[in-house]
């Protein structure tokens, strides 16, 4: 599964460009600290904030989460075998361009 925080952060950074966070946030109708935390992937974004971003950008909610080149798989905290399989899968995806989920049962 791809980290949604990373995808949203990339979208915001790309759309903001060289505009200072303070100015951009004011246009979005959110606090500058909210934009900073989203870009740093530290913010749990509320539905209200997503709606504000959609209105400001004139996009659908799905557009806020663009596809990324590599897939990062959530790694379970205590099961090292699955974490190793996820790392191997990320490397294979980067090399092959295949975006399917790993079949961890075969690992």
Domains in the chain and their CATH numbers? 4-64 (1.10.260.40), 70-107 (no CATH)
Q: Please state whether the predicted TM-score (pTM) of the whole model is above 0.75.
A: no
Q: Quick: pLDDT tens for 14-71.
A: 888 889 999 999 988 888 999 999 999 998 899 998 998 888 888 999 888 887 664 4
CA atoms of 99 and 22, how far apart (whole Å): 36
The 3-state DSSP class for residue 75 equals coil
Buried b (16+ CB within 10 A) or exposed e, 2-11: eeebebbbeb
pLDDT of residue 23: 93
pLDDT of residue 103: 52
The 3-state DSSP class for residue 98 equals coil
Q: Quick: pLDDT tens for 57-97.
A: 889 998 888 876 644 444 555 655 544 444 544 555 455 55
């Amino acid at each position: 599964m791809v980290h949604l925080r990373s995808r949203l952060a990339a979208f915001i950074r790309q759309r903001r460009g060289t505009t200072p966070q303070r100015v951009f946030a004011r246009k979005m109708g959110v606090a500058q600290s909210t934009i900073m935390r989203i870009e740093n992937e530290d913010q749990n974004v509320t539905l209200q904030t997503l709606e504000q971003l959609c209105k400001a950008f004139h996009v659908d909610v799905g557009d806020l989460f663009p596809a990324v080149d590599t897939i990062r798989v959530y790694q379970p905290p205590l099961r090292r075998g699955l974490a190793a399989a996820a790392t191997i899968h990320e490397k294979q995806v980067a090399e092959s361009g295949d975006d399917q989920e790993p079949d961890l049962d075969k690992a």
